[in-house]
Chain A
Amino acid sequence: MKRYDIAIIGSGPAGLSAAINSKIRNKDIIVFGYKDFSSKLVKAPKINNYLGFHDISGIELKEKFEEHINAMNVELTYERVNNIYAMGDYFSIMVNETMYEAKAVIITTGIEYTKPLKGEEEFLGRGVGYCATCDAPLYRDKVVTVIGYNKEAEEEANYVSELASKLYYVPMYKDHYDLRENIEVVNEKPVDIVGDDRVQKLIMTSREIETQGVFVLKDSISPAQLVPGLLMEDGHIKVDRTMKTNIEGCFAAGDCIGKPYQYIKAAGEGLIAALSAVSYLDSKK
């Protein structure tokens, strides 16, 4: 399999700045992101604090970014990365069924992940899971609750219900639910996941359910879920001044590493992360 020098995850200002600077240093890169680059970019009505571009709209700035990366032959791969595994000397990057490999990784995924529920992190792996299809067979003939933040969660709930003795579905959105008949929909707000050394109960605003497993299925992936083993601090990826994370070869930049949330800060950090990744690669030679 082809092994890239650097994989950049995210196409906001941090990711794009990391991309052009890696390219300038002749690295073989892959950049994952979206056609619009970042919804936070195209949504901004007026930007007055990006040096060199006074009174520019988000869309105009996006077009400038686009001209820039096109001129430097930086191509985007329009895919969402599900998991990044630190294998030792390289990283395996999973995109649904496809796998990519890179020697170094730069995380620039921005910030918009939903806050964890009370007890969610505490019981992770001890009854709480994020991938129903992965762990479902371990809950055969047990009571399972799926907290679903989107339509896709319904499919996973249907699958788990084939194995579980009882399945509760707690929707975090309003819609019509395509669920199997034997699934009980609970329209309540989850408050707390409790137990002893394992999950025992899900406490909601006006009801409690006894359950041995709770799957929390969200839209956005928090960095610690994206990169197992990644160290976080106060909801952000922990980095040092060179944008190095606790995992060798893994760097991070932009909103995902902390405040202030600003374009030019993100771009500056993307530059630092790229240069750090380059020196990391050189040190391995």
Chain B
Amino acid sequence: MIKEIMDSSFLEEVEKQEGVVVVDFWAAWCGPCKMLAPVVEELSNEIPGVKFGKVNVDNNPQISQNFRIASIPTIMVFKDGNVIDTMVGFRPKSELENMIKKHI
């Protein structure tokens, strides 16, 4: 399951969370984001103990600005509230899976 995260809820949902949180920065107009979405969805069901969220960059400029998102899709992995890994652009499922699993 993937939780929709907003500028207003980011602190609570991501930065104050213990453990690993994966955040998918996306927008409706972005083709590769559409392709990555089902892959992230699958992983969210397959990897237990990790929280998955997504941020629509159009509706949440503050967070996108703070994390200097320059290209989407961008996937960020947070651990105890800090960014520990970033992946820019579409990536194969296996690669994304390895990146996340490395941190748990």
Contact = CB atoms under 8 A, between A and B. Distances in A.
Given A87-B35, A134-B31, A228-B32, A125 B94 contact: no
Nearest to B88: A125
A137 B25 CA distance: 13
A85 B90 contact: yes
Contacts, number: 71
Contact of A228 (B58, B72, B89): B89
A134 B68 contact: no
Interface of A: 83, 85-88, 92, 94, 124-127, 129, 134-135, 137-138, 198, 213, 228-229, 247-248
Interface string B21-40: 00000010111100110110
A88 B69 contact: no
Contacts of B57: 137-138
Contacts of A92: 35
Interface of B: 27, 29-32, 35-36, 38-39, 42, 57-58, 64, 68-72, 74, 88-95
Contacts of B38: 87
Contacts of B42: 88
A125 B71 contact: yes
A153 to B, nearest CB: 18
Contacts of A247: 92, 94
